[in-house]
Amino acid sequence: AQRVTQPEKLLSVFKGAPVELKCNYSYSGSPELFWYVQYSRQRLQLLLRHISRESIKGFTADLNKGETSFHLKKPFAQEEDSAMYYCALSRSYGQNFVFGPGTRLSVLP
């Protein structure tokens, strides 16, 4: 069965500190992993996807198939990064995502 876990419900860091949001998954096929973000009073939006290997707003994420992880990292957190972050897995045939429960990131001044 497909499953995405995000062990931290809330993560608080100070501005300028590094941040890592953890994501682990279980999937029998070849997964595609994504990070979605929801800022306060805004809709859910794509942050990045592993297949494009891009860096968005300073965030990066590397797919580690051995550890079945897709942790989101940023070297220097900014206050505007405060938001809800969801890790998601797409089954290989399409876009029916399985979402994790989410981690609320709070960046303190």
Partner 1 sequence: GAGVSQSPRYKVAKRGQDVALRCDPISGHVSLFWYQQALGQGPEFLTYFQNEAQLDKSGLPSDRFFAERPEGSVSTLKIQRTQQEDSAVYLCASSLSRGSGNTIYFGEGSWLTVV
Under the rule (CB under 8 A), what is the footprint of partner 1? 4, 9, 32, 43-46, 49, 51, 86, 88, 90, 92, 94-102
Q: Which is nearer to partner 1, 4 or 83 (CB)?
A: 4
Locate the DSSP E strands across the chain.
3-5, 10-14, 19-21, 24-26, 32-38, 45-49, 60-61, 72-74, 83-90, 97-99, 103-108
Minimal distance, residue 95 CB to partner 1, in Å = 6
Q: Which is nearer to partner 1, 78 or 92 (CB)?
A: 92
Q: Which is nearer to partner 1, 50 or 73 (CB)?
A: 50
Minimal distance, residue 41 CB to partner 1, in Å = 9
- Please tell me what DSSP assigns to residue 50: G
Please list, in sequence order, all residues whose beta carbon lies within 8 angstroms of the beta carbon of residue 63, skipping any fewer than 6 positions away: 33, 50, 69, 70
Question: What span, in angstroms and rounded, lies between the C-alpha atoms of 47 and 88?
Answer: 11
Q: Which is nearer to partner 1, 17 or 51 (CB)?
A: 51
Minimal distance, residue 59 CB to partner 1, in Å = 16
